[in-house]
Amino acid sequence: MTISVYPEYPFQSHFHTIGSHRLHYLDEGQGPVIIMVHGNPTWSFYYRRLITLLSRENRVIAIDHLGCGLSDKPQGYDYCLQNHMNNLSSLVHQLDITSYSLVVHDWGGAIGMGLAAENPLAVEKVMVLNTAAFRSQRIPFRISVCRWPLIGEFLVRALNGFAGPAVFMAVRKKMPREIADAYLAPYDSWKNRVAVAAFVKDIPLSPTHPSYQTLVRVEQGLEILQELKPPMMICWGGRDFCFNNHFYDEWCRRFPEAENHYFTDSGHYILEDAFGEIAPLGQKFFHHSNQS
């Protein structure tokens, strides 16, 4: 095991084998389990300060999806929603985790809620951060361009036209250089951006998309959670060009009893823009899991 040299990321690396590939994850602290699921084009680094905070009283598991972060980046792999869900499920079963809370962001919403759909009774609490886990046909033009045949993959993989701009487009507060560099470090070449491009292509906007029915099943899992009503906290950045108020309103409609916190001047990377405000909210929200 090695200790990371990334800033604010003093965690020990762990690896889980998926076929012939290594999936990287963090496993910090002791207590009730919290699983943090990142999206595209981030990695577990996105959760670094939340991990440090919550691992004081909880066991925090933060995954790097295959193709992302410090995980292997196989070139011929099928980076579809179902496989990402399967990989997370495989890790959870390997670690013998039978109950857990979730923190989800971006694509982590669909992947994490896909895990929850397997056994909704295992879910203790959910923290939602600018994400979706339900169907929508809304997509910003700047993202749809990255899905175009030929030119889209060239933009994302050759020109770093997705991960690169995210370090300033997904925030309202300028990132320190070393933090932006850490976000981008795992995605430093054509080969290493393979999953970044695949995530963009895998957005299921119509019933003919290969991942559409998978997302339908995730959405059905949400309906079960609506009935079970595990505690949910929604923290939302109001200046998100992708996951905008349409998605926030949909979460609020589906989970009317959720604790809602709307940050008007924060962007998509809400943990960068509003961590100071979110930290005490998260600490309080997850602290109660230690009283059971």
If one counts the domains in the chain, the total is 1
CA-to-CA separations, 54 to 74, 103, 155, in angstroms, rounded: 32, 11, 37
Per the structure, the complete domain to which residue 95 belongs is given by 14-290
Could you tell me if residue 73 is inside a domain?
yes
What is the three-class DSSP state of 26? Answer: strand
Whole-angstrom distance, CA of residue 252 vs CA of residue 92 = 28
Region 226-245 average pLDDT: 95
What is the three-class DSSP state of 14? Answer: strand
The CATH number of the domain where 179 resides is what?
3.40.50.1820
Could you tell me if residue 65 is inside a domain?
yes
pLDDT at 289: 44
Whole-angstrom distance, CA of residue 193 vs CA of residue 176 = 22
Whole-angstrom distance, CA of residue 234 vs CA of residue 231 = 10
Closest CA relative to residue 79, chosen from 102, 107, 104: 107
Could you tell me if residue 90 is inside a domain?
yes
Region 167-178 average pLDDT: 96
Q: β-pairing, 33-37 with 59-63?
A: parallel
Q: Is residue 129 over pLDDT 90?
A: yes
Cβ 80 vs Cβ 202: under 8 Å = yes
Could you tell me if residue 257 is inside a domain?
yes
Could you tell me if residue 6 is inside a domain?
no
pLDDT at 139: 67
Cis peptide before 149 (omega within 30 of 0): no
Share of the chain above pLDDT 90, in %: 84
pLDDT at 135: 84
Confidence band of 288 (pLDDT split at 50, 70, 90): low
Q: Is residue 275 over pLDDT 50?
A: yes
In this prediction the pTM is 0.95
**CA 159 to centroid of chain Cα atoms:** 24
Could you tell me if residue 9 is inside a domain?
no
Confidence band of 141 (pLDDT split at 50, 70, 90): low
Render pLDDT for 63-91 as a digit per residue (tens, 0 to 9). Answer: 999 999 999 999 999 999 999 999 999 99
Which structure tokens are listed for 4? 């990371």
Confidence band of 184 (pLDDT split at 50, 70, 90): very high
Whole-angstrom distance, CA of residue 1 vs CA of residue 117 = 32
Q: Is residue 291 over pLDDT 50?
A: no
Could you tell me if residue 202 is inside a domain?
yes
**CA 30 to centroid of chain Cα atoms:** 22
Determine the residue type at 116.
A
Whole-angstrom distance, CA of residue 68 vs CA of residue 197 = 11
Higher pLDDT, 224 or 145: 224
Q: At what angle do helices 81-94 and 212-228 cross, to 10 degrees?
A: 50
Could you tell me if residue 2 is inside a domain?
no
